[in-house]
Chain A
Amino acid sequence: MNPATDAMNFLQQAPRFLFFTGKGGVGKTSIACATAIELAQRGQPVLLVSTDPASNVGQVFGIPIGNRITPVPAVPGLAALEIDPQAAAQAYRDRIVGPVRGLLPEDVVRGIEEQLSGACTTEIAAFDEFTGLLTDTALTQAYAHILFDTAPTGHTIRMLQLPGAWTGFLEAGKGDASCLGPLAGLEKQRAQYRAAVDALADPVRTRLVLVARAQTSTLNEAARTHAELAAIGLSQQHLVINGVFPEEQAADDPLAVAIVQRERAALRQLPPALATLPTDRIPLKPFNLVGLDALRHLLGSSKPAVTDAGPPLVPLVAPNLSALVDDIAADGHGLIMLMGKGGVGKTTMAAAVAVDLARRGLPVHLTTSDPAAHLAETLHGSLENLSVSRIDPHEVTAAYRAHVLATKGAALDAAGRAVLEEDLRSPCTEEIAVFQAFSRIIREAGRKFVVMDTAPTGHTLLLLDATGAYHRDIVRQMGSTGVHFTTPMMQLQDPKQTKVLLVTLAETTPVLEAANLQADLRRAGIEPWAWIINHSVAATMVRSPLLRQRAHHERAEIEAVATRHARRYAVVPLLQSEPVGVQRLQELVLNGAPHERAM
């Protein structure tokens, strides 16, 4: 046994099921792999289940794994299984749509497929795949621990718990069409889902490990997940803060010092709900987490000497944000939507683009749904051509829910109402409510620039377009003005009128997530106009070996974005402090390339 890993709280008296959850890119899979190795080394047979769409578990262990339980020869006692949620969702769609392909008109089949192409379906399909592992079967009996590098969301579990959600589905297959589209094709018996949900909520059998970084946005997200899953019975929770920058490695590198200070501040302001959880901190490692040796060291507190950070850094040559804004400005007006996962800096990028457009004398309306929109608010009234507005996503979503419940919900019985209420807690609902709230402002894009820090997914747009509801809404809004109009979908598909900027980080998972968002938009006929790679260390000149190593890793990701994913792109450097105010945002736009930076 490794005495160092013994010190990790989340490994103490490990129960049968361990779930690792957290935002993309925080290191869930690495920690799950390292945990699996550690527990197997203690002589307990372990099954590791990865649902990462870009699972590198096979690569880590040097064998092909895939969708069947495969023993890992290099680690006695360890077996692994990879579930690809996208493939699971596709198989699930094929199960429903396959039998009618060629029988029903093609556009009808496409419509059905779209209904089953949302994030909820992907999650349910993945849950469907691993539900058998949570109930005692011959398949899993041999394992003392089963580790998952993901966890179902509260929304999914709550849905599965509602009796109303199942009415008429698995049993009779007729009866009222339920709200639960994604549950329609579930193969397994309801009893098995109940057993799986019970296992999740059993503190003796299940531990949830919240993985976060020492960053406010990921910690806030962990706090939300904590509250949501604790409410449905997953009370055994641990917090792991991964990749904490070691203070002693920050010497005389201003950026590293700034990172250490920012992380310390984030940890000082830890959300109260998280502060009471048993917590572990894993320092940032000076090595790449690939291969068994590296993973064995991940959970150890031993400090291998900082390896050579590679060849000297040559300045990154990449377009800065200003070059993108040049092209945007040329059209004189239009809708600019910043899209990306939480925490990548959409609001900052939106503010920077807006400021740079306004500085050129162009009329700009910056509108944000960031609940902590102090950044945007400080801009209000600071530039002549710039107006700023904000909608509160919680407020508009609550109003939307209340409206639906008051209309649709009024006629439902208690069970039906419970299902509807849960339906209204899905992420899609918030997306729709927020986008709807923005729709009035969006119309201004015909005569000025409207810059938004959010965008609907392609899936949502396709559904809105298919039901015609969005179309009707716009007809109603524009009907009296007498002007000609295109459908909102046409407006979004026309790059002259609408530009979607995908914001991401130069790391594997965030780039993959952005590529998925792009594929989703393309399904809706919308081609993202450009990618912005934010918080790039490679776009800075750093001395700290840890940061230089990270800069080297980033190069490969930036290269992938530039050559494989993006039509246009820009790289924005990691800054020492948050850019607040016109002056700082302006610097951010211009100082993309390190050789232009005065450090």
Chain B
Amino acid sequence: MRRRLWRFPGGLRLPGHKAASLELPLAEAPLPERLTLALRQHIGAAAEPRVRVGQHVRKGEVLARSREYVSAPVHAPTSGRIAAIGERAVPHPSGLHAPCLELEPDGEDRWLDGLEDDQVEQPPSEPAELRARIRNAGIVGLGGAVFPSAVKLTPGPQTAIDTLVINGVECEPYITCDDTLMRTRASDVVAGAALLRGLVGAAHAVLAVEDNKPQAAAALRDALARAGEEQTGTLEVREVPTRFPAGGEKQLIKVLTGREVPRGGLPLHIGVVCLNVGTTAAVYDAVFRRRPLISRIVTVTGPGVHRPRNLLARLGTPVSHLIEQAGGYALERARLTMGGPMMGLTLSDDALPVTKATNCILVEPERAAAPALPCIRCGACAGACPVRLLPQQLYWYAQSGQFDKARTQGVFDCIECGCCSHVCPSNIPLVQYYRHAKSEIAAGERERQRAERSRRRHEMRQERLAREQAARKVRRRAPTREGAGDEGQ
């Protein structure tokens, strides 16, 4: 068995702040008065509503789905009435509204027929059927990337996968939802991992845990031992050094295998599939219990709540409801972040709903951002960058509008981990500049494609006109000779 670990470039040792939210045990958040379910909680095409306003739905029922390959359905997290379908505020960097369903719970929490009994059954053996179940359960990457898992688990016949990585690293400060999951559902994670290993045809599966979570690693090892002989040769638990962003997919694969995902490529190009532990547990629920993805563990933490803790929350639950369950606000003026302090998304208010991507609600005191000073090109950012970018150069190109240079210097390789901004002595919000550059380049690309299309149309029209004119000329001459030129008119 391989024991060696590799290192990724850069990265930071950050204070964990994880103990506070682990003091209280995991609890289930009670039903809120209303659930707001975004139709797009994943990468890919938005799901389309399959219910009407006023319709009564049961827990686990499909509310929306899309025919597109890259998409994921949305299920009812409880039984109740569809109160509205329309645009609502959702957690998104743009701050724009997006199509949502509103579900008014009836308080009975009744499952769809056939799902009432929580029974563990043998999963289907047919890979296509397994993938269909994962797809129909609405499972997406719960580590935050929310890419539809069924797509990821369909590597294609030409691609040989040798290693499955189950990511329980959870490297961002404050977040403990995966830690909690591994402690409380270790055997489900192990069973899910064993199943997924078979599904992708990997010889080997690694459950990776950061070495600041010894209890989670021990729980997984126990579960692995209980799973018996059969799994011990193919599944292993490995602790990786605590270093942000070790939980990034490419960084973790490097640490475990020494292989680097090629630029612009995917893990499967180097024979690896990587899934989050939460996703793995959701896969277990879907294939062993026929349960769709309707809830997830959310860490509610930070100095701004009285009792930091982890909550099993139904998708669509308002953030404010979870904060109440965590003892309410401990601060007058709090700043809300969805996700961690490094890569999280600042929330404009606490009415926003939990989505499949919501791993953490961080409540901190509101603080004015330190004013940004000029870049002194000290290079601290370059030393911290896990992609070996030169953030100071990218910043220069991004702020001066030289987006082509930003692109050739690798702005699209940026994983937006925030290490560069974190170490910047001038407090420059570097990642914001890269996001801006990326969106400008993408907009420019769309514009270029549109121009190209209309140019092609114009050229084709010109050609057609020229052809027609030539044809007319021929015809004008032709009738005198043959007298039968207007046949085609």
> Is the pairing of A and B real?
no
Chain B: residues with CB nearer than 8 A to chain A?
Answer: none
